[in-house]
Amino acid sequence: MVSFRSSFRPRAGERVLTSRRFVVPVSGGSVDQRLLESLSKICFRQAADITLVYVVEVEQSMPLDAELPEEVNRGEAVLRQAEDLLRHDLDPGTVRVYAELLQARTAGAAIVDEATDRNADVILLGATLRRQFGRLTVGDTVDHVLKFAPCEVIVIRQALPDWITESMEWS
C-alpha cells in the first residue's frame, strides 16, 4: 500500500517543487469530509496552494451568467466550511487556500478549466456511486475530469452503500 504523503515526495534525482498546486472540487456532499481529511494528510508539512472549487451548473435554457441566489448561497456556505476546516488542520505559513465559486454548463468542464488555469499538479476529486440507467456509475463529472484533466487526478470514492452490497452476490 502506498501512503498519500509518500506518493508526493520527490523521487531520487527529481526536481523538488516549491509548492504543490491542488484543485479540489467540493459539493457539500458526504464525501467532502473524507476528501478534505485526505488533502490534509497529503499536505501535512509541505507547501501547497489549494483551490477549493464549487460549481453551480446552469441549465442550457438559462444564460450562463444567470442569477441563481439559492445555489450561490449554498456554494458560498460549502466553500466557507471547507476553507475553515483546512485552515484549522493545515499550517497557514506553508499552505494557501483559495475558494472559487464557478457557474458553468457542466461541472467536469469547469473543474478541468480551473486546473488548467491554475496550472494544477493534482485534482483531488470525491466520488459517490449511484445507479443510472440500471448501471452503477460515478457520474459524468468524474468521467469528464478523468478523461480531460491536464494533471494527475486522485479520486476518493466512498465505501459502497448498503443498497449496493446487499444486492450483490459474492462468489
Cα distance between residue 107 and residue 109, in whole Å: 6
Rounded to 5°, the CA angle 149-147-78 comes to: 55
Please give the domain boundaries of the chain with CATH numbers for all domains. 19-160 (3.40.50.620)
* Nine-digit cell string for 163: 443498497
Q: What is the mean pLDDT of residues 16-42?
A: 88
For the chain, percent of residues with pLDDT exceeding 90 = 54
pTM of the model: 0.81
The DSSP call for residue 135 is E
Q: What is the mean pLDDT of residues 66-95?
A: 91
